[in-house]
């Protein structure tokens, strides 16, 4: 209800994903060329129906 009275248009979150590693150190990784971030980004893009070139702002928190 309050959001409808605000002056700016809403922002919609169309996709979100998270990724974690299954190892403690880089040399324990099965694949060192693909990080959890790359995997979660791909999932979020698929969910949203957009790609990296469509993004104007990205916020990351670790």
Quick: pLDDT tens for 6-56: 999 888 888 888 877 777 777 777 777 777 888 888 899 999 999 999 988
| Domain positions in the chain | 3-54
Tell me how far apart the alpha carbons of residues 36 and 2 are, in angstroms, rounded to a whole number.
37
This prediction has a pTM of 0.60
Q: How far is CA 58 from CA 12, 25, 40, 41, 54, in A?
A: 13, 27, 13, 11, 11
- The predicted pLDDT at position 34 comes to 74
């Amino acid at each position: 209800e309050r959001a409808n009275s605000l002056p700016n248009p809403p922002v919609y979150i169309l996709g979100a994903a998270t990724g974690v590693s299954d190892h403690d150190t880089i040399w324990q990784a099965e694949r060192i060329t693909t990080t959890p971030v790359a995997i979660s980004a791909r999932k979020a893009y698929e969910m949203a129906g957009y790609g990296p070139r469509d993004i104007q702002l990205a916020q990351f928190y670790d």
